[in-house]
Amino acid sequence: MDGQDCRHRGWVRVPGGLSNARNVGLHAATGDIVAYIDADARPDERWLTYLAAEFSRAEHVGVGGWNIGPPDDCWMAQCVAQSPGRPVHVLLSDTVAEHIPGCCMAFRKAALEAVGGFDPQFRTAGDDVDICWRLRERGWTLGFSHGAMVWHHHRDSVRAYWKQQVGYGKAEALLERKWPEKYNSAGHLTWGGRLYGRGLAQPLVGTGRIYQGIWGTAPFQKLDTPSPGLFQALPLMPEWHLFIAGLALVTLLGLAWPPLFAVSPLLLVALLASVVQVFASASCAQFARTSAGAQSCRRWSACPPADCAAAGPPLTRADDLAPARVE
């Protein structure tokens, strides 16, 4: 793959899910490197060039790049692009990755064949996370090229976005069963690197700031910002929404036994914390200035229905994660 010759032999619809389709492409490939892109993405004209350059520069077995929403996407798609749950890459350094999303990734064919290709049980999502973990388990490294970029179209309705997050939740349940060591005692995925991309949910308070000390007496900034504490991150957890549902149920039971209404203030505090967190995340959204619908996007992100969509990933994924954890 030299990034210049982009001839193709055609395409077929492959049954059996996403991983099976990727494996069909792997077996059909005749080159040393296999590049993957999703159906809702289109590559930049220099995409393959930058991927090939990174493979030539280092001995990585896989290389990923940026996936960016087109500036001319409809206003709803741009709003979804600013919501949590979109594909993001995880970097250990400027050029070394822990995870690269499936919509923009390439691997050495020999490495994929050595680990048996993609796991067919991941039919709609999770295949990229699984293959990255299996390759790194062998002691190999993944690279990241900042010039390798694809234009990634996002879901253009809240309903489609919600359905996508349901699929992600099912995939995450499969990942937790296969890789229990990657999850902490609370059942949450832990990364060694940093997540990059738009749509990352913000903690309740303490989102970070540039601190220069009292009267500018601190000459240097901290290299690493501290991670959010438990109380800051609570509204970001699926269990938080189950906790709110439990409080709501107890409050409703107060209709039959009035003393249970005593938990209603706690319910209001929990709901307020979620609303504040969602609005805090929505306020960080940035939209393309060249888009005709940018102003509509800002108004949409500021209104309660769109902000509640930011809580969609924890809610939808909790539906599928809970049965897996019980088993």
Q: pLDDT tens, 256-315?
A: 999 999 999 999 999 998 888 877 777 777 766 554 454 554 544 444 434 444 555 555
Contact 132, 100 (CB under 8 A): yes
- CATH code for the part of the protein at 18-196: 3.90.550.10
How far is it, in rounded angstroms, from Cα 170 to Cα 163?
11
pLDDT at 284 (0 to 100)? 73
Give the β-pairing of 62-68 and 142-152: parallel
Map residue 262 onto helix, strand or coil: helix
What percentage of the chain exceeds 70 in pLDDT?
73
pLDDT at 306 (0 to 100)? 44
Type of residue at 113: E
Contact 124, 172 (CB under 8 A): no
Which residue's entry shows tokens 């309740």? 204
How far is it, in rounded angstroms, from Cα 56 to Cα 50?
10
Which residue's entry shows tokens 């690279």? 143
Average pLDDT for residues 14-31, to the nearest whole number? Answer: 91
User: What length does the chain have?
Assistant: 327
Q: Indicate whether 101 pLDDT > 70.
A: yes
Average pLDDT for residues 53-57, to the nearest whole number? Answer: 96
How far is it, in rounded angstroms, from Cα 216 to Cα 214?
5
Write b or e for each residue in 100-133: b if 16 or more Cβ atoms lie within 10 A of its Cβ, otherwise e: bbbbbbbbbbebbeebebbbeebbebbbbbbbbb
| Lowest mean per-residue pLDDT among 107-111, 178-182, 238-242 | 238-242
| Lowest mean per-residue pLDDT among 14-28, 73-87, 94-108, 132-146 | 73-87
How far is it, in rounded angstroms, from Cα 267 to Cα 250?
10
Q: Where in the chain is the domain with CATH 3.90.550.10?
A: 18-196
pLDDT at 313 (0 to 100)? 55
Alpha helices (H) in 68-149, listed in sequence order: 75-81, 109-114, 127-137
Residue 238's CB: how many other CB atoms inside 10 A?
Answer: 21
240: pLDDT confidence band, cut at 50, 70 and 90? Answer: confident
Average pLDDT for residues 201-219, to the nearest whole number? Answer: 62
Structure tokens, 294 = 């940018």
- Does the predicted model carry a pTM greater than 0.85? no
Q: Indicate whether 100 pLDDT > 50.
A: yes
| Lowest mean per-residue pLDDT among 171-175, 189-193, 296-300 | 296-300
Q: Indicate whether 166 pLDDT > 70.
A: yes
Phi and psi for 114 in degrees, rounded to 5? Answer: -65, -30
- Residue among 254, 272, 256 at smallest CA distance from 264: 254
- The overall average pLDDT reported for the chain is 82
How far is it, in rounded angstroms, from Cα 252 to Cα 258?
9
| Lowest mean per-residue pLDDT among 43-57, 182-196, 217-231, 290-304 | 290-304
CA 83, 136, 82: angle at the middle one, nearest 5?
A: 5
